[in-house]
């Protein structure tokens, strides 16, 4: 009971569980309207997934639902709660469950039937009984017939194939000639004259001016018996080459020291080199190639002999039959011969003239081929054609000679007046000079051990020029004693030597000159080495001369001499080295160490005894040490006091 | 191609042209020069035919030099020049209507060519219609193409064998030209000047044997 006072109004309000949808500008809150119970239920039901909820099912269920709903509505229109629209989702659920139940029952029934066999049993479907009974004889006959049909078909097919194969072979033999001819035509020039097929194997189209025709004839090979076995190297066509181009040929270039007997000139050298047969090349190809080579060799030889006769040189060239002999250097003979072995004869292998086969300078033979090809190219080159009518023939640059005012030196440098023979002789001279220089250096290197001589040949050289760098060093002292370095440029007739100190010396082709020069350089090297060694050891050079005028005269070069003094001045070493006289080493001792100290009335002061006095020769041969510089180092070390 | 200097050597007292030339040859050989064949330089005069305005017709000189055997040089006196192929002569024949050859004015200098290291000395007899008129000496220093650098050297060399006859240096070269490289027309213009002098001398009663 409330005691007096007015009644307090108490209002109860549920807590606001609604979400605020929007707060308007004047502070009014708008709440999201809460879901009614049915809406809530519907929302939850829709979250459940009932499996196949395809559109058609849905439609069907919808239709069913509608039908049901309409019928049920007609029956009971009391508004049962069950058929309110909000229960639509549960309908599909119910239908799906019902169908699942049906399926399960069926499956259960089938399984119980299979397992228990109480009310029903499974029975296989029986075969049709009418097919089973056929007598075996009939089977056999029918099988035989079908096999016979199949065999007949196969035999017919095989017969057709063999027939076509035989036809092909026959055709191929006929066609072979054409295909061979096609192959021949792809590599050689052919033309049809009347009913003959002629070809051209000369270098006419490549620019050669040799008058030989070089025609060959292509003949069909019909003497083949088709019944017999076809030989392996059978070729349906053969070529007939001119008789003077048969066999094989090559140009032999050789250098001999002594000239052989005059009676040996003009013998036909019959060394025969087997032709290199490339695999897969036909017989006609080999023969044609050999014939073309013979033609080229003949052209080369004809050109060389023509020039040999025309050109005037100091020693005339001799042309005898198939040999051209010239003398590039005195005592040396260069012979260029055309070796042509005609036909297939192999018996001439054992020729008495079998001198060293490596006499043959293959390089020069190759160069001859290259030179003649260059000559061919020149006649055809675009340098000469096309060509304005007013300009002279020759190099294109010469057309500018007039307007540019070229003088004679420039014009002559543009005109090639050297013939094939001159070029090849120059090349032969160079090769000979180079090999002789190499031999000289090598013989010196093997003979003399003390200053070592090294030759570094340049890899890049010209047909007319090669170069080699010659170093003279002492073993073990290469870094100290490297003052003698020579660059030799070997030309066609001369050797030009460029010394490290700038001198340029031209040596002739004489072997002796080079040898003498190198010997003199080696002797100078020893003295230079002493000078360098003195620098390193701290000794002072008192005098040094590359060419002393004292002492015995050397026949080769000059002797050099040096005098060095020890660091404290007490001792001095004098060295004189000559290419012929060898080395002579003298040591100067201070006066105080002389055996008999000179007594003199004039010189009485003791200090004079510290000066250097008499000389004593060193037995250089008995010194220890493997080379001159080593011995010198030991001597210097011995004469330098340790303190 | 080097710097060239052309000068005229007067004929020695009491000697003929040939004897003077022989004397020069001997001096050169004593010096150590080597004879290397012959040389010739010639000059032909062409008159341009009078044009409508009646101006004085210019003279075109066409010169040949054995040093450039395939070339032909055409010069106007003090004016432009042209270096051409040897076919230029044929062209001049075709242009007969515009340029007429004054055949009597052909001057040439022929003689021996000596080589002394880098120097080429050419001693030639100037002849006009096969009568000797004078002696020309040309010295070419092959090692240099800039006149300013070597004219003094050439002068010294010429003094060594010409003695007092050595000329003064050509003053016709403007300052700018002294240090530009020479071309093949330079000796030609010098020869032209020389030939012009010789032609003028001929007009005076020439004392042939002086």
pLDDT per residue as tens digits for the range A62-113: 555 555 555 555 555 544 445 555 557 788 889 999 999 999 999 998 898 8
Residue A388 predicted with pLDDT over 80: no
Chain A residue numbers with beta carbons less than 8 Å from the beta carbon of B41 are none
Give the helix/strand (H/E) hosting A107: helix A88-116
Q: Does B71 sit within 8 Å of A402, measured CB to CB?
A: yes
pLDDT value for A268: 45
For an interface test with B, the pick among A394, A401, A405, A415 (most B C-beta atoms closer than 10 Å) comes out as: A405
The answer to whether the pTM exceeds 0.80 is no
Residues B71-99: tens digit of each pLDDT = 999 998 877 888 988 888 899 889 888 88
pLDDT at A345: 47
Q: Given pLDDT bands bounded at 50, 70 and 90, which one contains residue A526?
A: very high
User: First vs last Cα of chain B: how many Å apart?
Assistant: 37
To the nearest 10°, report the CA torsion of A158, A160, A165, A167: 160
Question: Could you tell me the pLDDT band of residue A352, with boundaries at 50, 70 and 90?
Answer: very low
Closest residue of A to B67, CA-based? A407
Distance from CA of B88 to the nearest CA of A (A): 9
Residues from chain B that touch A398, judged by Cβ atoms under 8 A, are 70
Distance spanning both ends of chain A, measured CA to CA: 138
CATH 3.40.50.620 fits B3-199, yes or no: no
Please answer whether residues A618 and A636 qualify as being in contact, where contact means their C-beta atoms are separated by less than 8 angstroms: no
**Residue numbers in B near A399 (CB within 8 A):** 85
Closest approach of B83 to chain A, Cα-based (Å): 5
Which range has the worst mean pLDDT, A5-19, A252-266, A312-326?
A252-266
- Give mean pLDDT, residues A145-163: 96
The answer to whether B68 contacts A398, with C-beta atoms less than 8 Å apart, is: no
> Is a pLDDT exceeding 50 seen at residue A15?
yes
pLDDT at A191 over 80: yes
For residue A132, name the pLDDT band (cuts at 50, 70, 90).
Answer: low
Which of A390, A402, A408 comes nearest B67 by C-beta?
Answer: A408
Distance from CA of B134 to the nearest CA of A (A): 26
Are the C-beta atoms of residues B135 and B9 closer than 8 Å to each other? Answer: yes
Q: How far is A412 from chain B (nearest CA, A)?
A: 11
Closest partner CB to B83 (pick from A390, A398, A403): A403
- The neighbour count for residue B88, using CB atoms within 10 Å, is 19
> Mind telling me how many Å the CA of A393 is from chain B's nearest CA?
13
The pLDDT, as a whole number, for residue A575 is: 95
**Does A244 score more than 80 pLDDT?**
yes
Nearest Cα residue to A410 out of B4, B40, B71, B119 = B71
Nearest to A403 among B67, B69, B84 (CB): B84
Please indicate whether residue A437 or residue A252 has the higher confidence score (pLDDT).
A437
- Give A515 to chain B, closest Cα distance, Å: 32
Backbone dihedral region for residue A280 (phi beyond 0: left; psi -120 to 50: alpha; all else: beta): left
Nearest to A296 by CA among A335, A248, A257: A248
Q: Which of A51-60, A226-235, B149-158 has the lowest mean pLDDT?
A: A51-60
Mean pLDDT of all residues in A392-407: 77
CA distance A369 to A357: 20
Which chain A residues are Cβ-neighbours of B1 within 8 angstroms?
405, 407
Q: What is the pLDDT of residues A534-564, one digit of tens each?
A: 999 999 999 999 999 888 888 988 999 999 9
- Mark out the alpha helices in A389-419 (DSSP H runs): 401-404, 408-414
Q: Name the pLDDT band for A383 (thresholds 50, 70, 90).
A: low
Which class for A167: exposed (0-12), middle (13-18), buried (19 or more C-beta within 10 A)?
A: exposed
Contact B71 A398 (CB under 8 A): no
Is A407–B85 a contact, with Cβ atoms under 8 angstroms apart?
Answer: no
> How confident is the model at residue B184, as a pLDDT?
82
Average pLDDT, chain B: 84
Domain residue ranges in chain B: 3-199
Nearest CA to CA, how far is A402 from chain B (Å)?
Answer: 4
CB contact under 8 A, A407 and B68: yes
Q: What per-residue confidence (pLDDT) applies to A348?
A: 39
Where is pLDDT greater, at A36 or B51?
A: A36
User: What is the band of A253 on the pLDDT scale with cuts at 50, 70, 90?
Assistant: confident
Q: How far apart are CA B198 and CA B43, in angstroms?
A: 12
CB pair distance less than 8 Å for A398 and B70: yes
Nearest-Cα residue of chain A relative to residue B185: A405
* Mean pLDDT, chain A, integer: 81
pLDDT at A531 over 70: yes
- pLDDT at residue A286 tops 90: no
Q: In this structure, which long-range contacts are made by residues B71-79, counting pairs with CB atoms below 8 Å and at least 24 apart in sequence?
A: B71/A401, B71/A402, B71/A403, B71/A404, B71/A405, B71/A406, B71/B184, B72/A402, B73/A405, B73/B184, B73/B185, B73/B188, B75/B185, B75/B188, B75/B189, B75/B192, B77/B192, B77/B196
Selection from A549, A477, A555 nearest residue A520 by Cα: A555
Of residues A402, A407, A411, nearest to B1 (C-beta): A407
Q: Is A402's CB within 8 Å of B84's CB?
A: yes
CB contact under 8 A, A402 and B183: no
Q: Strand locations in B95-197, DSSP E?
A: 99-116, 119-128, 131-141
Q: Which residues of B touch A (CB under 8 A)?
A: 1, 67-73, 83-88, 183-185
**Cβ separation of B87 and A404 shorter than 8 Å?**
no
Give the per-residue SS3 of A329-351.
CCCCEEEEEEEEECCCCCHHHCC
The torsion of the CA quartet A495, A496, A499, A503, rounded to 10 degrees, works out to 130
Nearest to A411 among B1, B70, B184 (CB): B70
B91: nearest CA partner in chain A: A390
Distance between alpha carbon B45 and the CA centroid of its chain, in Å? 14
Candidate from A399, A405, A408 with C-beta closest to B183: A405
Q: How far is CA A497 from CA A53, A221, A501, in A?
A: 108, 67, 11
């Amino acid at each position: 009971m409330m005691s007096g006072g007015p009644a307090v109004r108490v209002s109860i309000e549920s807590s606001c569980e609604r979400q605020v949808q929007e707060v308007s500008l004047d502070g009014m809150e708008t709440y999201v309207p809460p879901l009614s119970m049915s809406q809530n239920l519907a929302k939850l039901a829709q979250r459940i997934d009932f499996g196949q909820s395809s559109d058609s099912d849905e439609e069907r269920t919808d239709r069913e639902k509608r039908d049901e709903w309409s019928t049920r509505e007609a029956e009971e229109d009391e508004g049962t709660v069950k058929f309110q629209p909000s229960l639509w989702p549960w309908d599909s659920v119910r239908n799906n469950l019902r169908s699942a139940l049906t399926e399960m029952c069926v499956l259960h029934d089938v399984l119980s039937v299979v397992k228990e066999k109480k009310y029903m049993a499974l029975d296989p479907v029986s075969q049709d009984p009418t097919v089973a009974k056929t007598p075996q004889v009939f089977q056999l006959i029918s099988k035989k017939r079908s096999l016979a049909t199949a065999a007949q078909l196969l035999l017919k097919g095989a017969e057709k194939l063999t027939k076509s194969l035989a036809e092909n072979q026959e055709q191929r033999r006929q066609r072979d000639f054409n295909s061979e001819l096609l192959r021949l035509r792809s590599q050689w020039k052919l033309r049809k004259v009347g009913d003959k097929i002629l070809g051209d194997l000369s270098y006419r189209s490549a620019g050669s001016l040799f008058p030989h025709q070089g025609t060959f004839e292509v003949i069909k090979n019909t003497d083949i018996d088709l019944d017999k076995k076809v030989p392996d190297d059978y070729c349906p066509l053969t070529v007939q080459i001119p008789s003077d181009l048969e066999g094989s040929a090559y140009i032999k270039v050789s250098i001999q020291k002594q000239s052989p007997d005059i009676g040996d000139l003009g013998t036909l050298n019959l060394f025969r080199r087997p032709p290199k047969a490339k695999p897969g090349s036909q017989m006609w190809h080999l023969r044609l190639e050999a014939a073309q080579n013979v033609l080229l060799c003949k052209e080369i030889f004809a050109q060389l002999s023509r020039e040999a006769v025309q050109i005037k040189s100091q020693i005339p060239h001799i042309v005898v039959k198939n040999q051209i002999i010239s003398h590039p250097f005195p005592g040396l003979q260069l012979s260029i011969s055309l070796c042509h072995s005609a036909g297939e004869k192999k018996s001439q292998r054992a020729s008495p003239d079998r001198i060293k086969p490596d006499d043959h300078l293959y390089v020069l033979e190759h160069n001859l081929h290259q030179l003649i090809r260059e000559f061919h190219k020149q006649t055809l080159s675009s340098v000469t054609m096309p060509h304005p009518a007013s300009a002279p023939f020759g190099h294109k640059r010469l057309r500018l000679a007039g307007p540019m005012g070229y003088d004679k030196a420039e014009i002559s440098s543009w005109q090639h007046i050297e013939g094939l023979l001159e070029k090849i002789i120059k090349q032969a001279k160079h090769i000979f000079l180079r090999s002789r220089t190499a031999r000289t250096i090598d013989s010196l290197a093997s003979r003399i051990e003390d200053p070592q001589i090294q030759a570094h040949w340049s890899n890049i050289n010209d047909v007319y020029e090669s170069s080699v760098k010659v170093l003279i060093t002492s073993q073990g002292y290469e870094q100290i004693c490297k003052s003698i370095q020579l660059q030799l440029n070997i030309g066609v007739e001369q050797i030009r030597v460029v010394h490290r100190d700038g001198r340029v010396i031209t040596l002739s082709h004489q072997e002796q000159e080079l040898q003498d020069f190198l010997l003199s350089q080696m002797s100078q090297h020893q003295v230079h080495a002493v000078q360098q060694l003195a620098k390193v050891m701290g000794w002072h050079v008192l005098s040094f001369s590359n060419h002393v005028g004292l002492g015995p005269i050397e026949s080769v070069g000059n002797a050099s001499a040096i005098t060095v003094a020890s660091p404290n001045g007490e001792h001095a070493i004098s060295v004189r080295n000559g290419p012929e006289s060898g080395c002579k080493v003298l040591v100067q001792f201070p006066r105080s160490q002389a055996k008999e100290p000179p007594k003199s009335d004039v010189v009485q002061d003791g200090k004079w005894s510290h000066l250097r006095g008499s000389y004593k020769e060193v037995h250089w041969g008995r010194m220890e040490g493997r080379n001159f510089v080593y011995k010198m180092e030991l001597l210097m070390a011995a004469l330098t006091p340790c303190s | 191609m080097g710097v060239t200097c052309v000068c005229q050597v007067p004929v020695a007292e009491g000697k003929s042209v040939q004897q003077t030339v022989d004397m020069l040859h001997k001096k050169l050989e004593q010096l150590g020069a080597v004879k290397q064949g012959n040389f010739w330089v010639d000059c032909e005069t062409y008159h341009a035919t009078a044009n409508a305005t009646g101006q004085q017709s210019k003279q075109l000189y066409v010169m040949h030099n054995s040093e450039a055997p395939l070339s032909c040089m055409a010069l106007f006196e003090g004016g432009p020049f042209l270096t051409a192929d040897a076919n230029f002569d044929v062209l001049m024949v075709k242009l007969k209507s515009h340029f007429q050859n004054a055949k009597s004015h052909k001057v040439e200098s022929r003689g021996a060519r000596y080589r002394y290291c880098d120097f080429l000395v050419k001693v030639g007899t100037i002849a006009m219609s096969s009568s000797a008129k004078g002696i020309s000496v040309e010295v070419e220093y092959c090692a240099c193409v800039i006149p300013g650098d070597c004219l003094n050297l050439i002068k010294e060399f010429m003094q060594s064998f010409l003695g007092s006859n050595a000329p003064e240096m050509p003053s016709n070269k403007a300052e700018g030209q002294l240090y530009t490289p020479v071309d093949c027309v330079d000796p030609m213009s010098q020869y032209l000047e020389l030939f012009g002098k010789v032609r003028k001398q001929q007009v005076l009663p020439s004392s042939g044997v002086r």
